[in-house]
Amino acid sequence: MHISEGILPARWAIMWFAVSAPFLFLGLRELQFKGQQNLNIKPMVGLVGAAVFIISCMPIPVPTAGSCSHPCGTGIAAIFIGPLLTVVVTSVALVLQALFLAHGGLTTLGADLASMGVAGAFAGFGVFILVRRLTGRWWIAAFLAGLLSDWATYTVTSLQLAAALHGSASFGKFFLTVLLAFVPTQVPLGIVEGFLCVGAYRFILTRRPELLQTLAGQVHL
């Protein structure tokens, strides 16, 4: 979902920066506020940030599609540290990837942050809370959070590309064409991300369940 440098016209690039900026601002404020209240939050943010950075630049071959893609890790991150802090760690990961790994771009940073950081994190977080409350089973909630955060990210990327590049073609048709092109790789990878999320959640639940209570509060009750 990394949109490379120069693909988006300036007005769209600026628009996506404007969309992402408030979330980043609120995330930074939350980091400062929570960091003073809870000593575990900064190490957890560091751990989750490093994980998002690694996961989101790790190309995984998908044999059914004959291509590679990467999971996002923002669904897992949002469950553990909340969606706003996930936006902060994603912004750091995307800046480093754009600068040093030619992965994404600086002009498209706002768009990439909106898809992976904002949409991925809020979709994962929302799905986790909803499914947890509806079913009471953490593993279903964690699986769907991982799966749908990945798919939400790529859906927003399709939307961004369609909005900026559809030209004289129909927006809806262009959007569906791009979205369908992602399907062969992202359907299996979304499922992998779902299992990854279940594994990570189970690990913390087994080793230090109190972390889940103190980090994201009522989400895990």
Partner 1 sequence: MRIALIGGLIVSLALGMYVGLRISESKWTGVDESVIEKFAAEANRPPQEPLINIERGDLPLLLFLLAGAAGGFTAGYYFRGLFPPKDKG
- Residue 172 C-beta: closest distance to partner 1, Å: 15
- Evaluate whether 120 touches 52 at the Cβ level (below 8 Å): no
134 binding partner 1? (CB under 8 A)? no
Beta strand spans in 75-150 (E): none
DSSP string, 79-99: HHH-HHHHHHHHHHHHHHHHH
Nearest-10 crossing angle of helices 138-165, 120-135: 150
14 binding partner 1? (CB under 8 A)? no
Q: Which stretch binds partner 1 (CB under 8 A): 82-90, 140-148, 162-170, 192-200?
A: 162-170
- Give the nearer residue to partner 1 in terms of CB position, either 5 or 19: 5
- Residue 18 C-beta: closest distance to partner 1, Å: 20
208 binding partner 1? (CB under 8 A)? yes
Interaction pattern, residues 65-104, with partner 1; x per rule: CB under 8 A: -xxxxx-------------------------xxxxxxxx-
Bridge partners, residue 61, by sequence: 68
Cβ neighbours of 96 (radius 10 Å): 14
d(CA 58, CA 68): 9
- Residue 93 C-beta: closest distance to partner 1, Å: 9
Query: What's the Cα-to-Cα distance from 157 to each of 42, 119, 198, 206, rounded to whole Å?
Result: 30, 10, 25, 35
- Give the nearer residue to partner 1 in terms of CB position, either 61 or 199: 61
Contacting residues for 31 by C-beta, under 8 A, at least 6 apart: 41, 42, 45, 85, 88
Single out the residue of 14, 18, 29, 54 in contact with partner 1 (rule: CB under 8 A): 54
- Give the nearer residue to partner 1 in terms of CB position, either 131 or 216: 216
53 binding partner 1? (CB under 8 A)? yes
Size of the residue set binding partner 1 (CB under 8 A): 54
- Evaluate whether 40 touches 215 at the Cβ level (below 8 Å): yes
214 binding partner 1? (CB under 8 A)? no
Burial class of residue 93 in the structure, from the number of CB atoms within 10 Å of its CB (0-12 exposed, 13-18 middle, 19+ buried): buried
Residues lying near partner 1 in the complex (CB under 8 A) are found at 1-9, 40, 43-44, 46-47, 49-51, 53-54, 57, 59, 61, 63, 66-70, 96-103, 105-106, 157, 161, 164-167, 174, 177-178, 181-182, 185-186, 207-208, 211
